[in-house]
Structure formats: C-alpha cells, structure tokens
Amino acid sequence: MDTQQTWNLYEKLMKDYDTSLDADGVSGKRLAQRLSALSEIGLTDEHGSYRIGFSQEEKQAKQLVKQWMNEAGLEVSEDGAGNVFGRLSGRNPHRPAILSGSHVDSVPNGGHFDGPLGVLAALEVVEAWKATGFVPESPYEVVIFTDEEGSRFNGGLTGSRAMTGEIDREAQQQLVDIHGDPFEKVIEKVGLSVNTFAASQREMSDIKGYVEIHIEQGKRLEKAGVPVGIVTGIAGPSWLEMTFTGDAGHAGNTPMDDRRDALLAASQFVVAVNALPQQVSSTAVATVGKLDVHPNGTNVIAGQVTLTVDIRDIDETQRDRLIELIIQSATSICEAHQIDLEWKETQHVKPVPIKESMQEKLSSAIQAKGIAPVYLTSGAAHDAMIMGHHVPVAMIFVQSKDGVSHNPAEWSSLNDCVQSAHVLKQFVETY
C-alpha cells in the first residue's frame, strides 16, 4: 500500500486535542493541518521525514510555508542563502524587528516536529493577530532558516550562519556533500549561487531579538509534567578528532605483552571520557559516537583508530576545561600503551547562555498562561545559538514524548504545541 495513503498526521494530532485551547485566534486545527501537510513532503516508507538541506524537498516545504505567509498577509522575501522571511510591519515599521521561527529541513528519516513546529507556531501568532485585529508595535518576522540540521554537508546551521556573517566563504565552497557533489553545484540545483549566498548577511541592528520554539528532544519536561519550558543556555559543541596509532599485527602470533594495540588504547579512552564531564559541571557532556578502525580485520591487531569526541557545555570556560581534561586523558593512556596520539579540533562553537532578562520575560509569558515555569538547558545546537552571538534570544522548549527525536517516532502532542504558540504570542506582545 502507498505510504501516503496510510499516513495522516492530522488525524493523529487531533485525536486527543483539547479544543478549549482554541482561544485568542490560535487554532489547533490549523496548526495540525499545516504540520500534516509538511509531513507529506519527503515522507519515507517508515513514515519519517527526508528533507535534507538544499534538497528539492526542503525547497518544496519552504514554498508551501511561503504560500501560507502570503495568505496571512505577510511581506515574503528570500535571501541568497535560501532563508525565508515573512514580515509584518507593525505600528512602527522602522523599529528593529522581533524574529521567530526555525527550520524545515530534517535529518534522513527524521521526525515531523523538529523545526517545522517552530516555524508554524511563529506563523500561528500572525494568524491569531489577523483573527483578532491585533497589530504589534514593532515589526515581526517569521523566519525559515536553511539547512539547520547539516545532514548534507556534515555541518549545519548554514542559513543562520550566513545571515549573521559567520560563514567562511572559502571553507564553505570547499565542502562536498554526502553524494560527492561540491557545494556550488548542490545549491545551484535549488536556485542559489555562491555569489548570492555570500551576499545574504543582514544588519543585526535591525533585529530587536529572536525567539525560537523547538521540541525538547529530551525527557525533562515530560517528567515534570509541563507542556513547555524555558531554555537557560545552549551548549556550544567542540569536536576533537583523535588518531591513535600503534602497530598492526597478527592476532595469533603476537604475544599479549608485545603489542601496540591502537584499539585497546582507544577503548580505554572512550570509557575514560564518560567519567570526565561530571568533574567539570552538571551541564557538561562528552560523547564518542564514531570510530574508524584500521585495518579492521577480525584476526588483526588494530594499527590505527580515528575517533571524534563531541564535547558540550553551556558555559564556555567549563567546556574548554573539559576539552583540556579529555586531551590529558588521551595523552596519558597513549603513553601507558606506547601509542602515538594526534588530535585536532574540527569544530569550536561558542555556547550561548541566555540572558536572565529574556528568561524572565519568557517566565512571565508562561505564567500568564497558567503554566509553572521550568528551566532547562539545551544540549543540542539550534539557530538560536547562532543568533544569540549577535542579538538577544529566548527559547521555548515543547515536551517530547519519551525524549525521542531525529526518528519517525518523534512526537509532541497538539495540546502542548498549541500551548507553546500561546506562550510565544504572549511573549512577543509584551517584549
């Protein structure tokens, strides 16, 4: 049976929806219809989402949201990086704008809430104002950032980095995607070019602040029994690529006391990494998720192992201290096993602690909707992290069922999604 015929996200969302949440112009039905419509673009056989950055599917999703933006009366534009903006001028069109949104690209076979919820909730605020006749004081823009996930070029946050001027043009042009195609060729297929991409930087003084709704991708809100939470900081990732080099040898003929086993040293290091974050802070994390073993034979002692350590914290000083401890641990283990060690940092992104003033404004908006404020950190990177390097930001997390994300089983109830739209509306109106 055809996947499309057996899939109906709208029905699943509406099944347990509390219609009393339809108030002040916010419509759960409309939000459910739009989430469902986007879910059908790039729908996989497992009922997941396949809309990687710079794909025709991502472009199609943007086009659909642009249609909804036009119907809502927004002035719609797209920059040279493919970022989409729907602008409502407000009573004072010359004031700096408040931006809200997220992304519509996905990881391969991902979920249907990571990204689209932030875009559609931001648009739902405009629809609510249209229904009630409210006009904000400052301009308000709904934004769709390009290629947040980074699945195509193993990078990510591409649109927000381009808009804020954080893109290294030469480095970006050297990228090759998962299919072996160069960056320039890939973006040309979706109507962009290297020249227009470089010209997409925006004047940050024109932006008053940025607020993003995103699913939590964790279990803390579910455990607390609340629909939404306040993000206190976004962890900046550092990636250390480490290579352990010993001697490849025969598994049968090389005595145990005469080996330089790179995999043995790397394995001890992986175990050691797990215990280090707690020595730094309660918000620090470190992960080894990928190892390349050479020659990778059943009866061969590993001669070389290359791995990457993903290190994160919301405090830059603490994060950098953890980096030092991890390098020290690798060095000590390699010396004990007579293994050579080489390492390099392949990514270094500044964490973004969210200003207390923005947290307080968000807390007031949440309490105004009868919800107890819950504070939590974001271990995942978001476009708000990039924006937070330049303008005040706030983030609203929405409860995720079982903490599942980047998976077709990703789920947030329509009740919680609609409540996040109400909180966003309250926040923007009082910001």
Residue 390 marked ligand-binding:
no
For residue 281, give the DSSP letter: -
Determine the 3-state secondary structure of 283 from DSSP: coil
Residue 294 marked ligand-binding:
no
∠ CA 237-240-53, nearest 5°, is: 55
Q: What are the phi and psi torsion angles at 351 (to 5°)?
A: -65, 165
CA–chain centroid gap for 72, Å, is: 27
Determine the 3-state secondary structure of 92 from DSSP: coil
Site of tokens 């607390």:
224
Residue 214 marked ligand-binding:
yes
For residue 407, give the DSSP letter: S
Residue 149 marked ligand-binding:
yes
The DSSP result for 20-56, as a single string, is GG--TT--HHHHHHHHHHHHTTTB-TTS-B---TTSH
| Burial (CB count <10 Å: 0-12, 13-18, 19+), residue 298 | exposed
How, if at all, do strands 340-348 and 236-245 pair? Answer: antiparallel
Task: Answer yes or no: are the C-beta atoms of 430 and 361 closer than 8 Å.
Answer: yes
- Name the nearest CA neighbour of 355 among 343, 363, 344: 363
Site of tokens 């050479």:
294
| Burial (CB count <10 Å: 0-12, 13-18, 19+), residue 194 | middle
Determine the 3-state secondary structure of 177 from DSSP: coil
In this structure, what token pair is assigned to residue 123?
A: 């648009």
**For residue 179, what are the contacts with CB-CB under 8 A and spacing of at least 6?**
none
d(CA 262, CA 414): 50
**Which residues make up each annotated binding site for Zn(2+)?**
103, 114, 149, 214, 406
- Binding-site residue numbers are 103, 114, 149, 214, 406
